Structure 1
């Protein structure tokens, strides 16, 4: 989901060593440090799907947090530059735009489509033709199949490498969703599938019905919720993990402080972790990253991304950006490594900062951790 799933969520109701890909999952809760020789050309495995050690979230390429519209040619240049630097994993969704981000990605990768992995997502109530957003979620099997036809056209491709259910539909058994995906796989239109922000029972049921390749959920130094249970289940089942918002919607780069004011419609304005009562406390993470950036001769963004990749060899962050300088900075994270003692030290320092405030407003958070109904 790029830097975040913000575009996909209703606001008011409506980045290992080159050998890592061959490394089996450590025991749940284990920690693996990245190798000093790591480059973005290295590969990792999400389940059985090989991708670059860092991905690119293209969510905001049709609009930015500042509500401006980026240059389409500029977004194509970012997509191409990422590929030229070894990045092969691009993340989109029908809800981004809606529809428009898939078009931008399809245009951007057209000349090298067969050399990259495209991930996209279904599940929000998006009109199949107009892209108009309706309330709630839709994961009925017939709708999924029609949604995929639209995705294929917008992405200018004959198959989706990794298709996620964006959020669990509380009205549709996950086995029915898996059945629709299996039909699409039989037709060659979908190669792998995954879930986003699902309940743990649904994760296990989905994997039993049709083996999952990846789980995508928010995860960063600013939000460590997946460490409680999700990561251990992924390790147990051999499922890859793709953190969205790996830079804490820009916070971990040092771009946000107590004086920051957000544009109208920017969801960060209503996330309590960024309100005046909490942000000064949470800036301890930014100070920690700045110290480690100086220590490792890197940048805070690279440290934050490298920290995620060091947790497990099957974690692939997907920071999103519309700025070339940020893309180039983020991609340098694959060259940052931590010795075992360094990683233990950093992990302890991160754990010592208890983040104050919630990651999402209640109306949005309600869509995470949902369990699909039984058949």
Structure 2
């Protein structure tokens, strides 16, 4: 099995395995929750294999994924991992709401600490940006939580370049989580240039939410309640076009002696030493395949070929439906124009 190198994220001291493990699909959104015993075995296998950066959120379940991680990290495992969790999406009274007000930030953090059986969360992200109040207000409370020792490092998820810069001015942002893969490349134009702030980047969906594992046919095997079935890119009218991307990646992977998913993941790894993709899986055999991507070496010519294959017109369909908030609509009011209620 490949040796997992260590990388640094941001300039505040966070060091993680060069690849993480996304834990969402174990408990939510990708079909029925998986058996806790199986998922704990997978998490332990990942840690023993050198993948020590684990990513969760309070909305996964909601809450059940954090409870799962809390169980998995008992008995000395906690000291071997870097744990990231998120706040910001509330389902109170059955209503989905994005929140970043200080009282909610604090309550969410303290609740996550209890579920995870922790005194401190290594990396705490704002999962979605609350566009009703200045980002500086949310960051002010996160800064207090750092000072109190309840979190070590602060991150943002699905935040625009200007939002990142404004947040960073209040307290250093260690890492930003965004979807980045061979079929989601819009972050390269606006977000990646913010890296002069010395941030780490945590790409989600580096395997195209499973698309690069087996192409269009994988959609047929998705459970009825798997939200990927309803994403625009997986609809028949778009999938027929998008399968061409998989076929070209698959052909190149055959020449490279790896799987298409390993090639797609290796492309993300080759974006820089401050990039830590976090593919998720619920199967040990898939995890082992993902870790093999660390051994796939890509030349400048390979990278150019892949970027040609994954050109702007290679993918049809948005990555989310129209109601989902993303970094493209994460602007918040100016602090100077805002008055607290």
Same fold at TM > 0.5: yes
Equivalent runs, 1:171-190 vs 2, <5 Å: 171-190=132-151
- 1:116 matched residue in structure 2: 81
After TM superposition, give the deviation of residue 246 of structure 1 in Å: 1.0
Equivalent runs, 1:1-375 vs 2, <5 Å: 39-48=2-11, 49-63=14-28, 65-66=30-31, 68-110=32-74, 111-127=76-92, 133-233=94-194, 235-257=195-217, 260=220, 262-351=222-311, 354-365=314-325, 368-375=328-335
Q: TM-score, normalising length from structure 1?
A: 0.84
SS in 1 for 2:279: coil
After TM superposition, give the deviation of residue 158 of structure 1 in Å: 0.9
After TM superposition, give the deviation of residue 353 of structure 1 in Å: 5.1
After TM superposition, give the deviation of residue 213 of structure 1 in Å: 0.5
Question: Aligned equivalents of 2:55 and 2:43: distance in 1?
Answer: 11
Question: Aligned equivalents of 1:286 and 1:338: distance in 2?
Answer: 18
Question: Aligned equivalents of 2:226 and 2:104: distance in 1?
Answer: 30
Contact 2:155 2:176 in 1 (8 A): yes
Question: Aligned equivalents of 2:73 and 2:220: distance in 1?
Answer: 35
SS in 1 for 2:152: coil
Q: Which moved more, 1:236-245 or 1:348-357?
A: 348-357
Contact 1:252 1:300 in 2 (8 A): yes
- After superposition, the Cα gap between the structure-2 partners of 1:320 and 1:349, relative to the gap in structure 1 and judged at 3 Å, is same
Question: Aligned equivalents of 1:259 and 1:153: distance in 2?
Answer: 37
Contact 2:99 2:129 in 1 (8 A): no
After TM superposition, give the deviation of residue 366 of structure 1 in Å: 6.0
Please tell me the root mean square deviation across aligned C-alpha atoms, in Å: 2.0
- 2:339 matched residue in structure 1: none
After TM superposition, give the deviation of residue 63 of structure 1 in Å: 4.1
Q: Which moved more, 1:251-260 or 1:205-214?
A: 251-260
Contact 1:262 1:269 in 2 (8 A): yes
Q: Which moved more, 1:339-348 or 1:148-157?
A: 339-348
Question: Aligned equivalents of 2:113 and 2:221: distance in 1?
Answer: 38
Question: Aligned equivalents of 2:294 and 2:219: distance in 1?
Answer: 32
After TM superposition, give the deviation of residue 227 of structure 1 in Å: 1.0
- After superposition, the Cα gap between the structure-2 partners of 1:277 and 1:126, relative to the gap in structure 1 and judged at 3 Å, is closer
Unmatched tracts of structure 1, length 5 or more: 1-37
- After superposition, the Cα gap between the structure-2 partners of 1:284 and 1:255, relative to the gap in structure 1 and judged at 3 Å, is closer
Greater RCO, 1 or 2 (C-alpha within 8 Å, sep 6+): 1
Unmatched tracts of structure 2, length 5 or more: 336-341
1:331-375 CA-to-partner distances (Å, cap 9, x unmatched) read 111111112222222222222752111111001146753112222
Contact 2:29 2:226 in 1 (8 A): no
SS in 2 for 1:152: helix
Q: TM-score, normalising length from structure 2?
A: 0.92
1:93-136 CA-to-partner distances (Å, cap 9, x unmatched) read 00001111001112112222112100000001145xxxx65322
Question: Aligned equivalents of 2:232 and 2:91: distance in 1?
Answer: 28
Contact 1:40 1:332 in 2 (8 A): no
